[in-house]
Structure 1
Amino acid sequence: MHFNLEWLKPNFKLLPVKERMFCALGALLGLAVSSWLSWLILGEFNAWYIAPMGASSVLLFAVPSSPLAQPWNIVVGNTFAALIGVLCAQYIPETTVAFSLAVALAIFVMMSTDSLHPPSGAVAMTAVLGGASVHHLGFKFIAYPVLLNSLLLLGIAIIFNRGIGRHYPQTAQLNTRSKDPTPTQKVGIQPQDIQDVLAHQTELLDISQYQLEDIILQAQQHAQQRSPQAYLCRDIMSRDLITLHAQDAIQQALAKFKQVNLMSLPVVDETGKLLGTLALYEVMEWFQRAADPRAPWEDFVYQIMQRQVVTVQPEQPLIDLIPYFVERSFNYIPVVEQQHLVGMISRADMIAALQQQLLKQQA
């Protein structure tokens, strides 16, 4: 009989080598720097750093998107666990009973306060089994080394994760304009739908509701892209374009805005390479600055244009553009090929294409 070990493995995504190196580097820097700072603050104190921080670093740097790795969890979870551990160490003389009860109570309290952090179980146990140096601290153990270590490691995790482009801490995908779902959510799976399903789950899932929403939304988009009748950007883009040049005077740009009644125009060089965009509101802001004698003088388009521009390719499915027009309220998106501007897609183009697809479905 052949024994297959595959069924023992978790259904877990294996990250690329680069990302795995980032995780390891983050843990290395986080533990080294935070322990060094703890040593500077606490001096020769024997318990200036505690082992559970190693487990916390796995969460903070390897799976920072996990609900168990969020700032509330590491700070509040470790604090409650330390408090419970100290109480058990002081009032329960039998060691086995003390650390067992400390971990059990810590789990209950953390789950009740939505601050579950697995390494906190080791914090509670350390308070009981940490030896004379820990016992001598009493309730000071909560403030240092536990809370001090937690805050230092958390601060480094925030700086490191954001420095490499990760979103940490995780934030909710909410409609910033009202309490309603976002426009995309209104016509798809809404947050309340996910909440209703999760309400019937009897097991704790190591993924947040917001991650589920994002994954489901992306999965819907991938499924829609498989449609054989999907439009491509080249099918609806405008090719006869009105453009600005970087060396154009801002007054010239304003004249073009008046001429064509557009909210934004692309900025190109002599070869047609896209350099940025200039929006009408940026010209209006320039007028306000020009009235201030202390403001630096600006006369050309390149001085006020937006250089960071979202672009798409001609062969890109039109469905890719929906989040920009719907969620981020874009008016236009440039279409580029080898960095050169070849077209523009407006919100009106998108509406016309979507209307055509709806008519096809009805037919």
Structure 2
Amino acid sequence: MFHSQLRWLNILKPNFKVLPLKERLLCGIGALLGLLLSSLISWWVLGDINAWYIAPMGASSVLLFAVPASPLAQPWNMVVGNTLAGIIGVTCAMYIPNLTEAFSVAVGLSIVLMMTTDSLHPPSGAIAITAVLGGDAVHQLGYHFIFYPVLLNSILLLVIAIVFNRMLGKQYPQIAQVNQRSKDPTPTQKVTIQPQDIQATLDQQTELLDISEYDLQKIILAAQEKANARGQSQFKCQDIMSKHVVSLNEQEDIHSALDKFKQMNLMSLPVSNAEQQLVGTLALYEVVEWFKRANDMRTTWEHQVKHIMVRQVVTVKPEQPIQDLVPYFVERSFNYIPVVEDQKIVGMISRADMIAALNQQLNQISA
């Protein structure tokens, strides 16, 4: 009996990923900071006016900080959706005497217009109701209610959400597509599921899904890679890496680094410190850019590799399967990836190494 009740309760639960405790706490802290700071800034901007905060902003903060990847949480949705709902709500409050009729019409029209303008934002429905049922304080504001508190607080909360999510390394707002170099499908998509396939499938759906086509593409590509890996005998990074690695020292002079680029005929090189630990990477084009601004007095202090190198480096471990590297070489056009153990470079895998290994796997399959 108990198990049957438990199964019934599970039907009511959403098929939703539960984040680790740290991530859940960060989402809560983000909402706390967002609401607190935007409220204080509103009070500071408006001076002696007694700033007050409308409840729908709490609902917006759930989307902005807990599910920033949702299409419903994007800046266009929040600003345009809240503005439309505010205009409709104030108008209904002014011209429809019956409150029940007024807020019902306001919410219904808001949904239609938001869906028409691709700006659906659930908390906006609450803004439409607030404009009608907010009492004399709201009604006296008239259409000023749209600018403050709705628009001002929406923009402030949005800016804080952008900064907070970026600090956590989250892409917000969401970019439009997986392939950032062109509008074409990525190389992997060209031979598997393409964006138009996803769009055609979505067009057949009668329900509005709370996931973007961009996120669907990422999930499908990742699943495709895992499925492909199951059917292949996997090489590990240590099997195909070059153990003789040419690198730059972070204290090295930039002119000396250029000579090494010429000698090795490479487009980029890893950078290590005195302890041979990987600390960055330097591309040839970054050296060229340095020469272009060499006459700028503001950059005269830049004379060592560490001054112009990129400190964020994608690395792999010796035991990793080479399939993990495919997205970097194919989708992001990497030339090489350092193999690191205990923070020290133990090898290097180039695009040519990957091609040779994958070609060997293809020959094994065809045989």
- What percent identity do the matched residue pairs reach? 68
Aligned to 1:273: 277
In 1, the alpha carbon distance for the partners of 2:295 and 2:142 equals 64
State the number of aligned residues. Answer: 363
Q: Deviations over 1:33-87 (max 9, x none)?
A: 2222223344665773211111111111111111111111111111111111111
Residue segments in structure 1 that go unaligned for 5+ positions in a row: none
Deviates more, 1:307-316 or 1:14-23: 307-316
Alignment of 1:39 with 2:40, yes or no, is no
1:240 aligns with 2:241: no
Q: What amino acid maps onto 2:159 in structure 1?
A: G
Where 1:311 maps in the other structure, the secondary structure is: coil
Match of 1:192 among 192, 196, 203: 196
Shift of 1:129: 0.8
In the aligned structure 2, how far is the partner of 1:175 from the partner of 1:275? 28
1:105 equivalent among 105, 109, 122: 109
State whether residues 185 and 194 of structure 2, in contact with CA within 8 Å, keep that contact through their aligned partners in structure 1. Answer: yes
CA 1:245 to 1:185, structure 2 compared with 1: closer, same or farther past 3 Å?
same
Give per-residue Cα distances to partners, 1:194-216, cap 9 Å, x unaligned: 10000000001111111111111
Residue 129 of structure 1 corresponds to 133
Aligned mates of 1:287, 1:199 — CA distance in 2? 51
Distance 1:307 1:140, change over 3 A: closer
For 1:250 and 1:145, how far apart are their aligned partners in 2? 53
Q: Offset of 1:278 from its aligned partner?
A: 3.6
Q: Cα distance, 1:224 vs. partner?
A: 2.8
User: Which of 333, 336, 350 is matched with 1:346 structurally?
Assistant: 350
Mapped to 2, the partners of 1:180 and 1:303 lie a distance apart of 35
Equivalent positions of 1:58-137 (< 5 A) are: 58-137=62-141
The structural deviation recorded for 1:290 is 5.0
Match of 2:320 in 1: 316
Give the drift of 1:267.
Answer: 3.5
2:359 equivalent to 1:355:
yes
Distance in 1 of aligned mates of 2:10 and 2:65: 26
Out of 212, 218, 223, the position equivalent to 1:219 is: 223
Is the contact between residue 60 and residue 154 of structure 1 (CA under 8 Å) also seen in structure 2? yes
> d(CA) in 2 for partners of 1:179 and 1:266?
31
Q: Tell me the CA shift for residue 123 of structure 1.
A: 0.7
Worse overlay, 150-159 or 47-56: 47-56
8 Å contact from structure 2 (residues 43, 50) kept in 1 = no
Q: Which moved more, 1:82-91 or 1:306-315?
A: 306-315
Q: Which amino acid is 1:316 matched to? A: Q
Residue of structure 1 aligned with 2:148, choices 138, 144, 147 = 144
Name the SS for the 1:310 alignment partner.
Answer: coil
Alignment of 1:156-171 (within 5 A): 156-171=160-175
Normalization by structure 1: what TM-score? 0.91
Worse-superposed segment, 314-323 or 286-295? 286-295
Q: 1:342 to 1:99 in 2, by over 3 A?
A: same
- Within a 5 Å distance, the mapping from 1:247-326 to structure 2 comes to 247-269=251-273, 272-290=276-294, 295-296=299-300, 300-326=304-330
Q: Deviation digits for residues 179-230 of structure 1, max 9, x if unmatched?
A: 3212222122111111000000000111111111111111222223334501
Aligned partners of 1:305, 1:100: CA distance in 2, in Å? 58
Quick check: 2:43–2:51 contact (8 Å CA) kept in 1? Answer: no
Aligned-residue Cα RMSD (Å) equals: 2.4
Q: CA deviation at 1:248?
A: 4.5
Instruction: Pick the aligned partner of 2:184 from 177, 180, 184.
Output: 180
**Alpha-carbon distance in structure 2 between the residues aligned to 1:9 and 1:299:** 59
Give the residue type in structure 2 aligned to 1:226.
R
Equivalent position SS for 1:334: strand
